[in-house]
Structure 1
Amino acid sequence: MSTDVVAPPDKRPAGRGTVALLGFAVVGALVAVSLGFYGKTHAPTGRPLALIVGFTNLTPMKAWLATAAVVLAIFQVVSALWMYGRLPVKRKAPAVLSQLHRWSGAVAFVATLPVAYHCLWSLGFSTFDTRTALHSLFGCAFYGAFTTKMLALRANKMPSWALPISGGLLFALLIGAWASAALWYFTQSGVPLR
């Protein structure tokens, strides 16, 4: 008979997983700071490198791609809540939902890449008013949080709260970046939508 006490999954003791998570957070912070540093020191070109077919201007392209990423991120949150039994739904999540969750996250991330690239390359890290400063901070922090979450996702023995917290932070930063740019853009009068 063993005298070892095993903590329930939600009450796992702090240990190597927490230390690894802190290391992942440091890597994520370095990514965010590096992007901000590049955006601040790079001379913005003020023009797009390329436009996705169907768009005639840089700003609407970025606004629509960011909005697509937000819609997919909302699906990410809802599907995660359903898979972990946190929704008031009696039906168990279908097995295919985990694959849809992964793919929607991948597509959402890919949709943000042209947006971030053009933000950093064409416009740089802007601080000329509160909205653009917040947008720049949210955008850089988003990629840092993404790095942290992806590292934690593949690691063993993470604390049970690591993925919900990192996923929630990632979602909040995406919403902040979107609200301070795409939502603001869509609420202006007379702007082109494509």
Structure 2
Amino acid sequence: MTQPRIWLPTVAGVGTAVSLGVYGRLHTPAGAADVPAFIRLQDTKVWLATAVLALAVIQLLAALSLYGKLPTARWIPALHRWTGRLALLLSLPVAVHCLYALGFRSDDLRVLAHSLLGCLFYGAFVTKMLLLSRPGPTRPWTLPLIGGLTLTAVTGLWLTSALWFFTTIGPGWSF
């Protein structure tokens, strides 16, 4: 029999991803707005996304340590938790702006991939957090799989946004 331990969080994560996509598609985008005489919002977003990617790499290294693939220390579990919390916190202003100002778009392949990856990231994150908070054992492959999906989504998001921005517009701040 299939365990609700795995499927209920998965359904919640899929529901989150689909809800974000539907909202982004049906919502009329407000359009991007910059703060006059200040930093362009797009510059801030790409640097926040870059920080999220850097934290995701630390998350990967900490997870490899937790699973015995790299040397470990007593502080590694705390590092994993806190870098994850910080990455989520830094991702929220980026996601809110993308969803509210731009919506779910499909006008070209890069933008469509970015929209889908954003939904995947938050869906996988919800699934992972719900799996961690439920009592009882999980299957040994469950958390690495969901963590890998989360890392893949963050990497894809960065490639389809920040890297694209850095290579087409440039990495500078606009004052």
TM norm structure 2 = 0.91
Secondary structure at the residue paired with 2:168?
coil
- Matched to 1:45, the amino acid is A
2:28 alignment counterpart: 43
Matches of residues 1-194 of structure 1 in structure 2 within 5 Å?
16=3, 19-48=4-33, 56-87=39-70, 92-155=71-134, 156-190=136-170, 192-194=172-174
Structure 1 residue 161: Cα displacement = 0.9
Structure-2 separation of matches of 1:25 and 1:130: 27
Partner residue of 1:8? none
| C-alpha separation in 2, matches of 1:109 and 1:149 | 13
Give the number of the structure whose alpha-carbon radius of gyration is greater: 1
Number of matched residues? 172
CA distance in 1, matches of 2:66, 2:51: 22
Q: What is the deviation of 1:192?
A: 4.1
Q: Whose helix proportion is higher, 1 or 2?
A: 2
1:166 aligned partner, one-letter code: I
> CA–CA distance in 1 between the matches of 2:60 and 2:171?
31
Q: 1:20 deviation in Å? A: 2.1
Unaligned runs of at least 5 residues, structure 2: none
Q: 1:192 to 1:81 in 2, by over 3 A?
A: same
- Structure 1 residues without counterparts, runs of 5 or longer: 1-13
Runs of 4+ residues over 3 Å off in structure 1: 189-194
What are the Cα deviations for residues 64-95 of structure 1, in whole angstroms up to 9, with x where unaligned?
111100100100000110122113xxxx4110
Letter in structure 1 aligned against 2:41: L
**Which residue identity does 2:46 align to in structure 1?**
A
1:85 partner SS:
coil
Aligned-pair distance for 1:27?
0.8
Q: Percent identity?
A: 44
**Equivalent position of 1:3 in the other structure:** none
- Could you tell me how far 1:23 is from its partner in structure 2? 1.6
Alpha-carbon distance in structure 1 between the residues aligned to 2:82 and 2:61: 14
